[in-house]
Structure formats: structure tokens, C-alpha cells
Chains A and B, each alone.
Chain A
Amino acid sequence: MRENATTKVQDEFEIVIGLEIHVQLLTASKMFCGCSTRFGAPPNTQVCPVCLGLPGSLPVINRKAVELGLRTALALNCTIHPQSQFHRKNYYYPDLPKNYQISQYQYKDHPPLASDGHLTFEFDGQARTVRIRRVHLEEDTGKLVHVERDGTVLYSLVDYNRSGVPLMEIVTEPDLRSPEEAREFLSRLRTLLQYLEVSSGRMEEGTLRCDANVSLRRRGEPLGIRTEVKNMNSLRAVEKALSFEVARQREILQAGGEVVQETRHWDERREVTFGSREKEEAQDYRYFPEPDLVPMVLDPAWIEEIRRTLPELPEERRRRYVEQYALSPHDAALLVENKAMADFFEATIKLFPQPKTVCNWLLGDVTGYANTHGMEFTDLPLTPEKLAEMLKLMEDGTISIRLAKEILEEMLATGKDASSIVAEKGLVQIRDEDALRAIVEEVIAENPNPVRDYRAGKEKALTFLVGQVMRKTSGRANPDLVNRLLKERLHG
């Protein structure tokens, strides 16, 4: 229903969406100190004077974080600024130990790490290009834990483990034209970040966070008043929240009202966005250059080296899968979208060089299993070796396709390999003609009517008889062989 609403809006209004994406970088240590970035440690155990903002402490830039920022900027076709500057963003909040965040602000004379890039992707059968306004680095804040009783907050605690974790902010121009397109862009960007090994891209864990600016305008008119939507913790939530917000704004505009510029939060449970009740004042962050850090000057040779060593990116990989492995563009796209699965695919076809078969199994049964069990592909106990072994057993006729599906399910459930499952359950295909002939005799004796029908020319009756043989062998008989034996016997 909401999709319909969106379509209708597109007729009357143009939707304008821009995204701000915060990405936790996959560094071992924090942005400005040596503390670990590991997720899930007991509160306040991964802290030091620097990330606690203790008096007298000073920040030192993490080179790895800069490298990951540069990798991203290059993959997004950005202009890298050879000299950039960190700034202080001043505001008070208990999760911010210094009451300023070290970030990069866009000034004319000291730009952020990179700017003016773009990402092109296919959407609705068309090539779409979204411009990237800037890519910059900053530090994450700590986390507040509110202790509540009967719905009221008794007190709040602060966990500084996350304080100082490196963040990269990617800001797009307002080039997205629908919630669906925004979702697709974000999905492509996430895949790209995973390929670059810059981010784990897990929105649910908050390693990738997205805020969206949304507005509507009548075609040809200047930009409308926007709202900023926050707290969207999945791709699905981004699409839903934006659809809701678009519908809400359209209703206001159609009634002749005015959209209020504000920050709105997505309520996942109620599936609505809501504004904070407090009146928002324009925040003055009093940005100024961080005097504790000298300007960051990048060696052009280093940038070149990063450019040269960029990994294969999703778009290239997709093209290669179509050309080299003759996968359909659709299958190639699905496979590439999940880097772990695509890597798995490549490892498997080295052992079992039938790309299409491997692809079908991965996108079919394996993905199906993961989806029904709510698991990530990487959580499955499957290895390329195990999958290849199973496919070989199938290819040489040891097991049938039907059996293979059963065996795979068991492999995924238990982590066992195919040959041991086959051995344990005696699932090897019966290809012994004499053994099968005896069963064929039995079936013919027990089913005189179908036998008569077949002999009278009803081809369909044969299928029934084959099925009876398969039933008696618990599916272990080779169907082709059974077919031949039955025909020989009935014609004979």
C-alpha cells in the first residue's frame, strides 16, 4: 500500500533524499589512541587517558584509519585533499568525554580528507549516479546506559569503550529520488565497504549507521523544507522510514501545510517517525581547527600505493562473473552482493569447476537454509571443500539430487561433511542392476493395474511405477536405471 503511495507522490511531487552514513572502521585500535576497538568487552575496559578525555591527554592520528578512509574515497572516485585538518565540534553530552568531538569540518582553506566523488549503480534498469559530497574521519562517542524502573530513568551510566572508535562519515548530495532507490544505494555502498575491508557493514550492530535528509518539492520548484530521519537500524528500516516520512510530508503539503524542519526518529515497532517534543534550537558547534593535531599531509606516493592495491570492487566482479563464468547478470549480482558468499563461490569452483552449479546451490539451498534459520551466510558451518565434495558425489552418481538436498541440509545443521553423512545413513545410491531388478519384479507383481495401463499405451503409468521403486529403496535407486529396467521388463 505504501509503495502505491510513493508512486503517487512521485507523480505530483519529486522526492529528494540525501544520506549521511557513519561507518565504524575496521581498525584494531581507536582513532586517536592505542585502545582496542573490539566490540562487546565489559564496560569501560578498553579506555585510556586519551579516549576518556582526561586532563592533559593528547590525540595522535591512527594511520590505519586514514588508510581506510583513503581506500573508500578512491573507490568512490573522490578528490583526495593532500592536506586536511581536524576540527573540534563543541557540544555538551555525557557520552562525549571532552565535550567536543574531533572531526573534520568543511572549510574552504582546510577541506576534509576527500570530496566530490560519486557512486554509479543500476536501479530499475537504469544507471544511476549519486554524487558524494565528502568523506571525512572523526571519533565515535561513548554509550549511555539508562537504568530504568517502571518506565522512568533512575540514573544513567556511561560506557566509554566506544569513545574514540574511528568513524568515517560519507555524505551524499541530495540525489536520491525514492526510498527504494535510497535503500538500493545504501546496499551497494555497504557491499563496496565490505569489499574494501573498511567496514563490517552491520547496521544492526551499529557499525554502519545512516541518517537521511528527506524533502518533497513540486517539480521544477526549489528544494522543500527537509526533515532529518535517524535511528534506522537496517536497510529495510531505511526504506520503511523514508516511505513513511515521504507520505507524512505529502499529506502536510497537500493540505496546504508546511513541513517543520526537525530531526525525527524512526520507531521500528510502531513503524512511524516522531519528532522530539523539545523545541530545537539551531546548534552552534563553534568549529575551529584542532590545535592538538598538526594538519594532516598525505604523501602522494602513499595515496598511489593505496590506489594500486585496491581490491576488486563489486562492479568489476559482477562483470567478470558474467563474462568468465557465464552466470546470468541477475545471479552474478546476487552472488557479488554478499562478499563472503562470492569469495566462497570462487574457492569452491577451484575445487569443483562448474560455476553455474555452484552458484545455483549457493543462491538456492544454502541461502534458503540461512534465511529460514535467520543466519548470516558467514555463520554457516559450510566450507568450500565440503560443498565441493558433496557436488562431486552428486556428479559421479553416488547420490541423487534429491539426496544431495537432504545431505546439504544435514551438513548445514551439523557441520558434518557429505561422505560421512552418506556412510552413516547408508545413503549410497543403488546402482546394482540385479538388486534393482528384484525390486522391479516386486513392484510389477504388486501393481497389476498400472502395468496393464502402461501396456495399453498410457505412458504416465510408468512414472507411477518408477515412484514405487524409489519408495521401496528410500530414494536411493538411480532413477534413470529404474526407468530403463522397468521398460525392458514391461516391453519384454
Chain B
Amino acid sequence: MADQITDLSAVELRERLVRGDISAQEVTEAFLQRIHALDPRLHAFLYVDTEGAIAQARQVDEQVLTGARRSGRELPPLAGIPVAVKDNICTKGIPTTCASRILEGWRPPYDATVVERLRRAGAIILGKTNLDEFAMGSSTENSGFGPTRNPWDLTRVPGGSSGGSAAAVAAGMAPLALGSDTGGSIRQPAALCGIVGLKPTYGRVSRYGLVAFASSLDQIGPMARTVTDCAILLNVIAGNDPRDSTSANLPCPDFTRALQVEVRGLRIGIPRECFVEGLQPEVREAVLQAARLFSDLGAVCEEISLPHLDYALPTYYLIAPAEASSNLARYDGVQYGYRAKAGDLYTMYARTRREGFGAEVKRRIMLGTYALSAGYYEAFYLKALQVRTLIKQDFDVAFQDHDLILMPTSPTVAFPLGEKVTDPLQMYLNDIFTIPVSLAGLPGISVPCGFANGLPIGLQLVGRPFDEETVLRAAFTFEQHTEYWKARPVTSDTVTRDKVKE
């Protein structure tokens, strides 16, 4: 029974919960059981809130489901559905560490807006998922508490930084998860774990309670095994929040209404700059095949150019670290988190940060501090802002004649643990196709579009600002015409690398 439940999508779980076939508690226990069975190997979770989740499920059973079944009232959209939450999103009373030693043991006194909305929608919060420390990385190897492994191959990375959320969903430890995406941190791990991940338009989802990495880029988004589940989760978390000044004051559509199998007449641009050296041949082939499928279904696919794409990576690695250097200044040992012992204030500051932060975080803080310093500000930070504007303009031009842009999510499939962790530049190249989309603030989704050596490949679809609907419609259409999303990694208790490779 347990395995059966954990195979279900959020939509299927909801049907059964509404009918009364299963209870929220049964659902929650099934997922918890699977977490306890698999997670010692995968390490997708940093914290599993077993008691809290069961208590919450009981409450939903007693107060929400029973009442709704009796009165015939509409159920809250996620009533009784478990969700895993990336550990850089604040959960009241539940540890929120950002996978950093410096925040070990910190329990926020408040819920992030998205978590409030999850609770209001009846969702059960299973626990907190692993990530690269402060979301800085593309493999979840930068976690201060050990890496997460890819359910498709335990010797490989799940991608990052939302690697814990991606692995949890891929392995059936949660039907839904929240990730955060600054330069590809939802889309890239979704691609590497063979699931669906959507980065909404910057401003679509409140950042209140998301521990900031780079404020002008960070965005929370849904991760799930199907496009429909992503849309349902997006419905719950999206919308204006007066506590986040950068959240857009725009009406939010019902995103599930966009889920139609229809792409006829859709004009899809394929940037020629994406098909360059470094792109794995199988990835290239899978993405071009996806384009052919869209053409067959009546969409118009054309080659386009994003001339400043080459500059996206260096631009990102000035803006994001600059903001991070300031955002992470607050971890100083004074108020909360780790504090090193020292005789005076400045030694305490220095030791706390030296001992509390990992190497990649320190690298980016130094980069960003440098980029903002007097005498360098104009040459680096300000210049990067100007290039960011050019990259945005590239997309603006492309969207004059096209409704959607299609490209790979990641240049390769999941790579072995340890392969790139000592080579930051190689690691950064993982996000070469997701970063430009982040810089332009656009909505982008990654959907499974093939396999190479048994490892999933992701297709990225990018839309106009606040046009998640077209992105979702195209992704849904693609999903309905393919089978890749149905594949599941073999993750029984006896799973070994060889078995997965068969």
C-alpha cells in the first residue's frame, strides 16, 4: 500500500482523499515511511518533521476532510497532500539551516509567506530538503551537512541547489516540493532528476521568508513529477504579498486552466547560441527532437539569436555574489546561529564566519565584496547591471516574434559526485542555459525530454514575463505526447548503482 501511495501524483492523491479512500494520515505516513527507508542513502532531507507532519495530517483529517466530505464543500487545494520544503525557506519552529553550519539549530519564529499559503491550503509539511549552502551551487555538494545523491544513480549528483527537493520528488519521498531558483536552482536539478520544475517570473511568488542569496534573482517555485502538479502548487504559492515590495501586484490566473493539449500556431524560438561546444550530444539530440515534436503538433519552431548569451555567466557571477556579500553579512554570531569563541568583537566576527561558512560561500562573498568596493564598483557591478539590461533586451526582441523559447536546461546529464566540486568554473557552466533566463526575470520550466545512459535529460521552455500560462500549456502538451515523465528510478531498499545502470 505504502509504495502505491507514494507513486501517486498530487492530483491522484487528492481524488482518493476527496473520495475518502485514504486519509491524510495514511498518505503522510506512507511518505514518511519511504523517507525513512530511502533517505539514509539519498540524503535529500536535512530535517524530517515526523511528529509535526502526522499531527498536521490528523488535523486535516478531522477538521478539513471530514467536514468537507460531509458538507460537500470544496476542499482546500492541497488538503492532506505532503510537501517537502527546501531548507532556505523559513518554517516556524522547524529548523531552517540553508545547509550551513552557521545557521545550524536556528528555528525561525515565523513562516515564509509560501509556507503560510501551503498551510492554509491544507498541505502537510514533511520536512526540509538539502541544498548547496545558501543555494550557492549546482550539485548539492556544497551542503554543510553532506551531499544529496541522485536517485537515478547514487554515484551522481542530483543537481542543485534544490537537489534535495528534486531527489525527494524523483524518489517518491514527496509528491510535491518547493525549490528556489537564483540562476537555475529549480530547473537544473529538476532536469538532472527527471522531474518537472518551474521558476516563475521574478515577482510572481513572494520571497518573504526565503533566506536571501541574491535578492534581485531569487524566486521560489514548484517541483513535482507532472506539469499539472506544478501548476497546482504554483496556484497556491503565487500572488502579490504586501510584505515583499518586489512581488508583482498583478492578478493571478488559475494556472491549471492553462493545462491544455494545444500548441498549434505557437511560435517557438530556438537560440542558436545554445548549441555550442560543451553541450552533450545526447542532450542536443533530445532537445532538437522535442522541437520536432512541437513542430509536428503545429507549433512554428525557428532558430533565433540571443547575442549576449555569452556574457550571462560573468554578469551573473558579479551581480549574484555582490548581493550575496551583503545579504550574508548578517551571519555574524551576534543574534542567532553559530558563534565562535573569541576575546573581542572583530575576532568573533572573523572566526564565526571563517568556521561557519563553507568554501563556495566564502568564495562568493569575497567576489561580491570586491565587485562592490570603491574603485571597482563601476567596472564590475555597474557594468554587470548594464549587461543584464542587454540580455533582457535580447529576450524582449525574441519575444516580439515568438511566444516561447526552447532550449536545453543543462548542457549535460547528472555528473559524478566529486567531479566538478574542485573546479568552480566547470561547475558554473552547468547553469549556462538557466542563468540568462534568471537575469531577465523570465518564467522557465524544465520537463523530462529523454535519457542518456539511463540518466534524465531536461527540456527548458521559457516564456514572456508573467506568462507562466503559455509555458505550462506547452510543457503540458509535451508531457501528454511523451512518456519520459513516467519513468521512475529504481529506489528500493536494496538499490545499488549497478541495478540502476542495467
- A88 CA to B381 CA in the complex, in Å? 14
Q: Which of B211, B245, B332, B369 contacts A294 (CB 8 A)?
A: B245
Are A292's CB and B245's CB within 8 A?
yes
B245 touches A293 (CB 8 A): yes
Residue numbers in B under 8 Å from A98 (CB-CB): 329-330
B124 in the interface (beta carbon within 8 A): no
Q: Is the interface of B mostly helix, strand, loop or mixed?
A: loop
Contact B96 A55 (CB under 8 A): yes
Contacts of A479 in B (CB 8 A): none
Q: Which of A57-65, A119-127, A384-392 contacts B (4 or more CB under 8 A)?
A: A57-65
Nearest A residue to B331 via CB reads A55
Any chain A CB within 8 A of the CB of B112?
yes
Known: A56-B210, A56-B211. A292 touches B246 (CB 8 A): yes
Contact B245–A60 (Cβ < 8 Å): yes
Q: B253 near A: Cβ within 8 Å? A: no
Interface centre among A57, A88, A94, A97 (most CB of B within 10 A): A57
Residues of chain B contacted by A293 (CB below 8 angstroms): 245-246
Residues of A within 8 A of B214 (CB): 291
A58 B245 Cβ-Cβ under 8 A = yes
Judging by beta carbons under 8 Å apart, are B109 and A49 in contact? yes
**Number of B residues with CB within 8 Å of any CB on chain A:** 43
Contact, CB under 8 Å: A57 / B208: yes
Q: Do the beta carbons of A49 and B330 come within 8 Å of each other?
A: no
Judging by beta carbons under 8 Å apart, are A53 and B210 in contact? no
Interface assignment of B215: CB less than 8 Å from any CB of chain A: yes
Is B103 interfacial (CB 8 A cutoff)? yes
Q: Does chain A have a CB within 8 A of B322? A: yes
| Nearest CB of chain A from residue B106's CB, rounded to whole Å | 8
Question: Max chain A CB contacts within 10 Å: which of B244, B326, B374, B377?
Answer: B326
* Chain B, Cβ-Cβ closest to A107: B382
A54 to B110, CA, bound (A): 10
User: Measured between alpha carbons, how far is A286 from B381 in the docked complex, in Å?
Assistant: 11
Q: Which listed residue (B208, B373, B374) contacts A56, Cβ 8 A? A: B208
Count residues of A near B (Cβ-Cβ below 8 Å).
27
Say whether, besides A99-B329, A284-B373, A55 and B246 are in contact (CB < 8 Å): no
| B464: interface (CB < 8 Å) | no
Docked CA distance A98–B215 (Å)? 14
| Contact assessment for B330 and A288 in the assembled complex, using a CB-CB cutoff below 8 Å | no
A57 to B323, CA, bound (A): 15
Of listed A53, A55, A88, A90, residue having the most chain B CB within 10 A = A55
A49 neighbours in B (Cβ, 8 Å): 108-110
Is A97 in contact with B212, judged by CB distance below 8 angstroms?
no
A77-103 interface (Cβ within 8 A of B): 88, 90, 92, 94, 97-100
Closest Cβ of chain A: how far from B139's Cβ, in Å? 23
Q: Do residues B374 and A284 form an inter-chain contact, with CB atoms below 8 A?
A: yes
- Closest Cβ of chain A: how far from B134's Cβ, in Å? 10
Asked whether any CB of chain A lies closer than 8 Å to the CB of B47, the reply is no
Interface residues in B78-119 by Cβ distance below 8 A to A read 89-90, 96, 98, 103, 106, 108-110, 112
CB of B372 within 8 A of CB of A288, answer yes
- Expressed in whole angstroms, the minimum distance between the Cβ of A158 and any Cβ of chain B is 7
Within 8 A of A (CB), among B216-252: 216, 242-246
**Closest B-chain residue to A53, C-beta based?**
B330
The docked-state distance in angstroms from the alpha carbon of A294 to that of B89 is: 22
The docked-state distance in angstroms from the alpha carbon of A57 to that of B322 is 19
User: A92-B349, A99-B329, A288-B372 given as contacts; is B108 within 8 A of A56 (CB)?
Assistant: yes
Given contacts A92-B332, A284-B374, A294-B246, 7 further A-B contacts (CB under 8 A): A49-B109, A56-B212, A57-B209, A58-B207, A97-B335, A98-B329, A288-B323
Q: What would 16 A/B residue contacts be, using CB atoms closer than 8 Å?
A: A49-B110, A54-B110, A55-B98, A56-B96, A56-B210, A58-B208, A90-B326, A92-B332, A97-B335, A99-B330, A100-B326, A100-B329, A158-B335, A288-B372, A291-B214, A294-B246
Interface residues of B (CB under 8 A from A): 89-90, 96, 98, 103, 106, 108-110, 112, 207-212, 214-216, 242-246, 322-323, 325-326, 329-330, 332, 334-336, 345-346, 349, 369, 372-374, 377, 381
